[in-house]
Each structure stands twice: as structure tokens, then as C-alpha cells.
Amino acid sequence: MGNGMSNGNTARAPERALRAEEVVARTFGATFVIIAIMWAFQLPGVLGLSAYNEQFLILCLGLAGGAVFLTIGVHRRKEEKTPFYDWIAALVFFGVCAYIAWNYSRFLLDAPYDTDEMVVLGLIVVVLVMEGTRRVAGMFLFVVVTVFILYGLLAHLVPAPLTGAETGFRQLANYLSFDTNALLGTPLVVATTIVVLFIFLGQTLFVSGGGEFFTDIAMATMGRRRGGAAKIAVVASALFGSISGSAISNVTTTGVITIPLMRRSGYTAVDAGAIESNASTGGQFMPPIMGAAAFLMAEFLEISYTDVMIAALLPALLYYFAVFVQVDLVAARDRIATVEADLPDWRRVLAEGWQFILPFVVLLVGLFQFRLEAEIAALYAAGTILVLGAIRSYKGSRITFRTLCTSFWEAGLATTELVMIVAAAGFVIGILNKTGGGFALTQYLVTLGGGSMFLLLLIGGVVCIVLGMGMPTSGVYVLLAFLVAPGLVEAGVDKIPAHLFILYFGMMSMITPPIALAAFAAAAISRADPMRTGFAAMRMGWVAYVIPFMFVLSPSLVLQGSADKIVLNTVTAVIGVYLVSVAMIGYFSRRLSPAMRALLVLAGAAALFPDTAIGAGGLLDLAGAVAGGAILTWEYFAARRIAAAE
């Protein structure tokens, strides 16, 4: 998913002949999507063919891995010409995986014996998955997974409390590549059966003109408002970000439009970069897709996908509310007006592009009303786009045979990086299961907390930020779901809040210096200082560092619990977020003094803190809301008196 979405309405440059490696990679990508669609509709069974789920998984892994070696060079960049050794790696990867898939029933019988054939095949798969992971995700994840593989071999020699069971070399090679608790486990299942089809949905949307439609909607609804350029960025990036699955990809896709627009409107380069990186990162929290993390969370927690969406909705809305308030106040403080451009009329945009809304209606009705499997609902939504997009065009873009083919291969290639990452994460999961290290790690994390929930959450948050360095949303979540979430659950945190907690802090690495890859990508576009942009993004995204603590302390913020607690904590959370956001910008009706900003932070914190969690009955919330209201009222009338005197 790290490749993002292509926009079907970009002007086409003169086409060049495709190189052989591009043809093969696109064929691998398109085949991956076609097989996933066939598997979703259970076509092999309909045709009277019997196949194990693991055969489908390992074949998809081979297609994805082959595409990675043909499209990403050894130095992690697109090569002008693929060297011979990458051709060999790609063909060996696909060939070995296809061989395993073809002979899987025999390998099931041979598994207890760790045969030489299985060990050799397993080693080839492990080595190629690790190299593929290094190419798509960088050295950090490669080193992390390598450390765990070494732990799998040496766990019995590691001092307590992290001592694990002894596992032989042959046994480990066999287990990692063939077992359903390792490589062929839940993360790979979700990536190859659900995520790829949602990316296909996104690609069909974009090649039919949906990208420009969403941009036009954002401009039509927000462009005429104060600070309209930044509000366009927030709305557009929220829409794109949920689908793209990568905050960095989202910044580079939407930021090239929104950041120059913000700069022309009067936002500083630093503020423009901070706004775009926050808006793009927030898309990973926003239902219905949440950068594909929602599907993984549903599988891991064994709950419905709709339950995950409902739980994630309020925190995501609070996040965007905070960003929206801050960009509005920055515009007021710096006297930034509306967008000076020929803005489209929202009625005309809807009249011309209503077909892009209907697929989302189909998706949500399928999920909530008919309780369809997520992948089936996504395919029905994609089918809706294909039919309507073939009949209706939007600014010259429509579904044709050519664009349909493009959506297939681009969806496949966009998923290959994720497949490599979740495959490597499967090694980590398998090792923790095989050695018992998962239980030891959980106990160690709880011990570090020393009985303090706040300290445990603080340690967990820092670990999540560090481990989330530069990875796509799904990869971050898979890793943290097995390394950090069990410790939180063991300490008494409910499962859904615990998993949302790790998702939020894992994604905060995108705007937290010195990592802050989304902020740095935005700074490159706005030509601002990267570190200054990172700290500005961190300040503007403050709510994402606070809200996870709040919904852990009071699950009412993830819509769990009694109705009265949910309503009370929601209302006071909105008030608290507003008060702290005002303090962060330092402007209301006029510039605020440091003392007033400090008072607003205290009042906002009191209103935001879910004091029903400590049995205060809402008194602390009420006191914070009243105090904050009094401060803002004072500032409003003080500003009017000064204006009248002038």
C-alpha cells in the first residue's frame, strides 16, 4: 500500500515501450488481484477444485515477492534496468512459492519430519522474504526481524525473564515458512484476501476520476471559508489517507496540490507542511478503511469489522476536529483569507460526480445491513464503480478496458510492499509462538510498568513510536499487536482500546521528530526546515498523543459502556479538545498571553480527562468546561473593547 493511488485524470505523457521487467511485474500484480477475487468468491470450489488456503497464500506471496524484486532495486530505488541477479531472485521466489503451493498436501504429511527438501525451500523463502522486506521497508524492520530470528535460535540461552524454548535450526526453518502460526498466518491472510481488494476498490475509484472528484468536493465545500486552503488539505487528505494506507504516500499524493495552495494563501512553509502531514497521518485512523488496520484488528480480536469501525470513529473525529480548529485559528491569527481561485460549485460537482458516492453507500450497506464479509462488500463496491464509471465520465476520465487493466496491475503492485512486511512480521509472530517468548515479553512489559498503568502506557507509547519508524499502517499494527498489545491487555486494558492505543502511537512516528517521515516529506514539498516542520506537526497533532490515554482510562470514548457515560465524556472531550487547541495556537479573538494559554490548557485537560473513570461523576469535566468557557468569554469581550477603543 505504500505505493499509494494513481490518479486516473493526470495528463498522459507520450508513452514509451515497456521493459520486460515491467511487463512481468505488472503481470504478477494483475494475477495477484485476479486470484484474490476468485478466492473471495470461492470460484475454485464452484469449479470443483479443492485447494488449501495455504496454497493460495504462498502463491500470492510468490507473485508479490517476484514483483518486488523486479520493481525495487537492491539500493531501494527504481532501477533503469533490472540487473540479472534481481531477475534470478524474482523468478526463484515465484518458482519456489509456486512449487510449494503445488506440493503443499505432500508437505503437510512431511512437516513432522523436517525433511531436507522442506528445510532448503524454507531457507530460500526466509532469505528472499527478508531481502524483499529490506527493499520495501528499509534496514530498521530488517534488523528487528533478524534479531527475532536469532532469538528463535538462541532463546534458551537468553537470560531470564526472556528465556524461551530451544528450537533447532532445521525445525525453525521449516516452521517459519510452512506453519500457519508463522509466515502463513493471520497477517498474510488479511493482506491477500481483504487489503488487496480494498486497494483494488481504491484504484477503480481513481482511474475513473474519483481522485479529482474528492479534490473538487474539498475545494467546493472549504475553499470559500477562512483558511480555506488548509481546510481543503484536511478534507482531501482525510479522504485519500484512509484508502492509501501510508501517510507518506498520502503526503506525496495530495501534498503536491494542497501545500502550494496553502503557501499561496499565506500559510508559512512550516505550517503548510505540518498541516498536510497531520491531515495525511490522521487518515490512517479514520473509518471505514483506516489504512487497512481495521481488517487486521478485526481478525486479531475475533470481532466484526463493523465493531472496529464504530470503536475507532469518535477518536478519529476528535483528531480531525482538533486539526480543523487549529488551522482555522492560524488563519485568523495570520489574517489568511479564502482561496483566491475559481472554485467549483458543490452542487455542480455532486451532479457530475455522484457516481463516486454510491460505491461507498454499497460498501457500508453491505457491511452494516447485510453483514457481508469485508472483501465481498469491497468487490460489490468496486463493481458499482466499474459499471457507473463505464457509463459516466468525470472530467474526461471513465472506465475503459485500458483503465480496468491499469486498476488490476496497480492494485497488485501497490499491495506487494505490504505483503513483504506482513510476511516478515509473520516470522516474528511465529518465533514468539514457538519459543514462548510472547508470554515472556508480555510479562516483562508489565513488570517494567511497576504496577502503574500510566507508566506502562507511557513505555508502550514510546516503544510503539520507535517500532513504527517509516512503516505502512498495516505493517506497524501487525508488529505492535504481538509485541506491545498483549502486555497492555495483561495489565487490565480492554482489548479494543489496547489495540487502538498501539495503532495511534505506531502512526505517531510519522510526525514525531527525529523520525517524522510524513512531516519530512511535507517539508520537502513546502521547502521548509524538516525538524521545525516535524515539531510543528507534533504540536498540531497533540490530540493523538493524548486521546489514546483517555480511551484506555475510559472506554466510553471508543463507544463502550453506558449511554450516559458515552454522552458525557464525548461532550466534555469535544470541549477539552477545543480549549487545548486554542491554547496551542495562542489565538482566540486576539493573541493570548502565556498565562491565558496555560490556564486554557489546564481547563481543557480537566474537561478532556474522563473523570467518570475515577468516580468523580463528571464534576472535574464540568469544572474544566466552565472555566474554559469563562476564559474564552473574557478574551472575546476584551478583544471587542480594544477594537472599539481603536
pLDDT, one tens digit per residue, over 34-43 is 999 999 999 9
Nearest to 610 by CA among 547, 543, 540, 545: 547
Q: Which three cell numbers stand for residue 528?
A: 521548509
Angle between helices 346-353 and 210-222 (to 10 degrees): 160
- The upper half-sphere exposure of residue 156, i.e. CA atoms within 13 Å in the direction of its Cβ, equals 6
CA atoms of 553 and 453, how far apart (whole Å):
9
Contact 520, 534 (CB under 8 A): yes
User: Which residues share a beta bridge with 394?
Assistant: 397
pLDDT of residue 15: 65
**pLDDT tens by residue, 496-526:** 999 999 999 999 999 999 878 899 999 999 9
pLDDT at 557 over 80: yes
**pLDDT tens by residue, 597-644:** 999 999 999 999 876 555 666 788 889 999 999 999 999 999 999 888
Mean pLDDT of 56-76: 94
pLDDT of residue 1: 46
pLDDT of residue 412: 96
CA atoms of 620 and 612, how far apart (whole Å):
9
pLDDT at 339 over 80: no
pLDDT at 164 over 50: yes
Torsion 42-44-47-49 (CA) sign = negative
CA atoms of 513 and 535, how far apart (whole Å):
7
Nearest to 215 by CA among 245, 264, 253: 253
Mean pLDDT of 550-579: 91
Burial of 53 (0-12, 13-18, 19+ CB in 10 A): middle
pLDDT of residue 504: 94
pLDDT of residue 208: 93
pLDDT of residue 290: 79
pLDDT of residue 611: 64
- The upper half-sphere exposure of residue 241, i.e. CA atoms within 13 Å in the direction of its Cβ, equals 27
pLDDT of residue 9: 45
Where is mean pLDDT largest: 287-296, 422-431, 444-453?
422-431
The separation between CA 253 and the C-alpha centre of its own chain, rounded to angstroms, equals 15
Mean pLDDT of 413-432: 93
DSSP 453: H
Nearest to 309 by CA among 291, 325, 324, 289: 289
Mean pLDDT of 317-334: 95
Mean pLDDT of 23-52: 93
Whole-Å CA distances, 374 to 23, 198, 380 = 31, 9, 10
CA atoms of 215 and 233, how far apart (whole Å):
9
Question: What is the pTM (predicted TM-score) of this model?
Answer: 0.89
**Of 332-346, 479-493, 535-549, minimum mean pLDDT range:** 332-346
Answer whether the bond into residue 288 is a cis peptide, omega within 30°: yes
The helix, strand and coil proportions of the chain, stated in percent and rounded to the nearest 5, come to: 75, 0, 25
pLDDT of residue 2: 46
pLDDT of residue 533: 97
Helices of type H across 392-472 = 401-435, 437-449, 453-467
Nearest to 234 by CA among 286, 275, 291: 275
pLDDT of residue 527: 94
The band of 188, judged by pLDDT with boundaries at 50, 70 and 90, is: very high
At 89, which amino acid appears? A
**pLDDT tens by residue, 196-221:** 999 999 899 989 998 889 888 888 88
pLDDT at 92 over 90: yes
Q: Which three cell numbers stand for residue 610?
A: 474522563
Contact 477, 483 (CB under 8 A): no
pLDDT of residue 8: 45
pLDDT of residue 470: 67
Neighbouring residues of 434: CB distance < 8 A, sequence distance ≥ 6: 152, 165, 167, 172, 175, 181, 182
pLDDT of residue 609: 83
The band of 14, judged by pLDDT with boundaries at 50, 70 and 90, is: low
pLDDT at 109 over 70: yes
At 614, which amino acid appears? I
Higher pLDDT, 496 or 244: 496
Mean pLDDT of 129-149: 93
Neighbouring residues of 144: CB distance < 8 A, sequence distance ≥ 6: 428, 467, 479
Torsion 368-372-378-384 (CA) sign = negative
What average pLDDT does the structure give for the chain?
Answer: 90
CA atoms of 372 and 364, how far apart (whole Å):
10
Nearest to 186 by CA among 28, 54, 37, 373: 54
**Of 3-17, 112-126, 148-162, minimum mean pLDDT range:** 3-17
pLDDT of residue 245: 63
The band of 11, judged by pLDDT with boundaries at 50, 70 and 90, is: very low
At 329, which amino acid appears? L
Nearest to 481 by CA among 552, 421, 416, 425: 425
CA atoms of 25 and 125, how far apart (whole Å):
19
Contact 534, 548 (CB under 8 A): no
